[in-house]
Amino acid sequence: MKFPSRSSFAAGMSFCLASAPLFSRASATDLDALVRLLVPAYMAQNFAAVCTVQDPQFLSELKGGPAAISAFAEAIKKRVTADLAADEAEKVRVTAADTARQVARHELQLLSRQPAGGPPVSIKTWCDRSAKPFIIEALRRHAEKKQEFEKELEDAKR
């Protein structure tokens, strides 16, 4: 039984972000880099939303449960778009959200195209084996590499 995996997340991200640059270079701010910093937070939020519908106890082991993911995404969104002009902030948020939605749709499409004759893979199984590890890793990575994130953010806003 083949599950959509974290490698498919990476493939989806590569596919969605391959059309760089996304923005004109009217300012010194690297909006493409800001989008890349924001997409994982939106992906975690989208995956949590899909999985919580299937299982209300999804991520209940996290302090705050699925709401913690929304708070995480909101904090990243505010941090990434702070000090941007309103139109630039909106472009970054919309592009990152659209990209994350494309990745989530891609993952769900992979689930719907299961090979004939094989046992079906449920959304709950996908949530437990693919989405949950991605979400936990996104939270862990951000917590452990906060200085690196801040440096990338600073570089993108120069």
Could you list the mean pLDDT of each consecutive 10-residue stretch along the chain, which spans 158 residues?
48 46 56 95 94 90 85 95 95 97 91 72 88 94 93 92
142, 72 Cβ separation under 8 angstroms? yes
What pLDDT score does 63 carry?
84
Domain ranges of the chain: 6-15+29-156
- 82-96: b (≥16 Cβ within 10 Å) or e: eebeeebbebbbebb
pTM above 0.85, yes or no: no
Supply the pLDDT for residue 66: 80
User: What CA–CA distance (Å, rounded) separates 53 from 92?
Assistant: 27
Q: What is the pLDDT of residue 78?
A: 96
- Per-residue pLDDT at 112: 80
pLDDT at residue 88 in the model: 95
**Integer Cα distance of 154 and 158 in angstroms:** 6
Rounded to 5°, the CA angle 45-141-14 comes to: 65
pLDDT of residue 133: 95
Q: Which is nearest to 104 in space by CA: 46, 35, 42?
A: 46
CB-facing half-sphere around the CA of 129: CA atoms within 13 A: 15
- Which pLDDT belongs to residue 25? 46
Residue at 114: amino acid letter: Q
Cα–Cα nearest to 12, from 81, 110, 92, 84: 110
pLDDT at 115: 67
CA distances from 33 to 21, 37, 124 (A): 10, 6, 33
